[in-house]
Amino acid sequence: MSEPSRVVCPLCPLHCDDVVVNADGSVQANRCEIAESAGSLVNQVARTDKATLARIAADKQPIRVITSGVDLVAARQLVQWQSDGAIEVEIESDSSLQAIGTVTRRDGIVAATLSEVVTHADLVWLIGEVDPAWPRLEEKLRLESAVSSAADGKRQVKRWERWTADFAGRMHHAIEHLEATEPGSESQTRAKHFHESAYAAIVIGPGAFDAEEAEMTAAMVARITRRRNGSARCVCVTLDLAATLRSVHAWQTNESLASMVSDSETDSTPVIRLAGIGHRMSGDRSVDLQIGGCDPGAEHAKAFMPANPWTNSMVIRGDGSVTLPLQIPTALSVNSPTAIEQLQKVLPEQGRVI
């Protein structure tokens, strides 16, 4: 029987490098539900609709391919197919992560890697669905020993499910005008901790902001971060699910990759979803075909093709800090097709393989 394999996880932008895959396909990753779901993804049953697949193959327009993120090999192939006119690639992103990315590119922000936060931060604010989306992030940031009060000099941690634009504005005002803020209010308490810190880190997760005002709230977070750096260190941290795809696209085209447009902006062009890095089913739009991930059902995908999450490739961690090798675990004997191999089967003939 094969020995267990120690590999990099391909499913989440943290890309933990201590994941163990056993000979039976089961995964051990310190109780991470996302990593441990990898075994079940390989064994799913295809739900194909011949009419849908035929319509995709026969379409004369470039097919829309939406994805949260992919590995290096898949990214190079997607960019090549887009250059050949076979597909149009769009990034499917959470509105909060998209907003903080937009603000960063437009206005700039003081960012940091996870290792820098671990080494230096004495105050960490986590906003959004950080734990469900990235279950081992707090472990990687070593927050288990942190406290929620300033008493003994340990790192302070505060978690919020969501910030509204109004709350972000009040926090900004409290930080700028601490003495004029209502005593005992949350904003006054948090602003006081903020002022006392030497190195603060604001971690933005999915769902951190209301979708309707996400960019406005993100801009306020960026402003808080920049202003604090006048007297102390403050950084904004998030994980870009599409870090590898964005980088490959920029290297090869010298252009930015488009974010997914809304349904109202599209015509009848077939839409294929590659359920890639960090994909979560909540809020999914309906597509003609989903490749990879869990079968979302006919309501969300007219057809479904399973894909092997394990591949021999490379990937950039979501904080941009390091490039890591992906590999098919030697413990696994099953060699089912990857998402990019499945996509190749349904594309028109002009899709060139590299």
pLDDT tens, N- to C-terminus, the chain (354 residues)? 567 889 999 999 999 999 999 888 789 999 899 998 887 887 789 998 788 888 888 878 899 999 999 999 999 999 999 999 999 999 998 999 999 999 998 888 889 999 999 999 999 999 999 999 999 999 999 886 554 443 445 789 999 999 999 999 999 988 888 776 677 777 788 888 888 899 999 999 999 999 999 999 999 999 999 988 988 999 999 999 999 999 999 999 988 887 775 554 455 788 999 999 998 865 567 899 999 999 999 899 999 999 999 999 999 999 999 999 999 988 776 678 999 999 998 887 655 566
- Looking at the DSSP bridge assignments, the partners of residue 204 are 127
Distances (CA, A) of 349 to 58, 64, 87, 338: 10, 16, 12, 19
Q: Which domains does the chain have, with CATH numbers?
A: 5-71+242-346 (no CATH), 96-237 (3.40.1010)
8 Å CB contact between 244 and 70: yes
Is the pTM for the entire model greater than 0.75?
A: yes
Provide the 3-class DSSP secondary structure of residue 49.
Answer: coil
The per-residue b/e assignment along 294-321, b for 16 or more CB within 10 angstroms, e otherwise, is ebbeeeebbbbbbbbbbbebbbbbbbee
Q: What are phi and psi of 107, to 5 degrees?
A: -110, -20
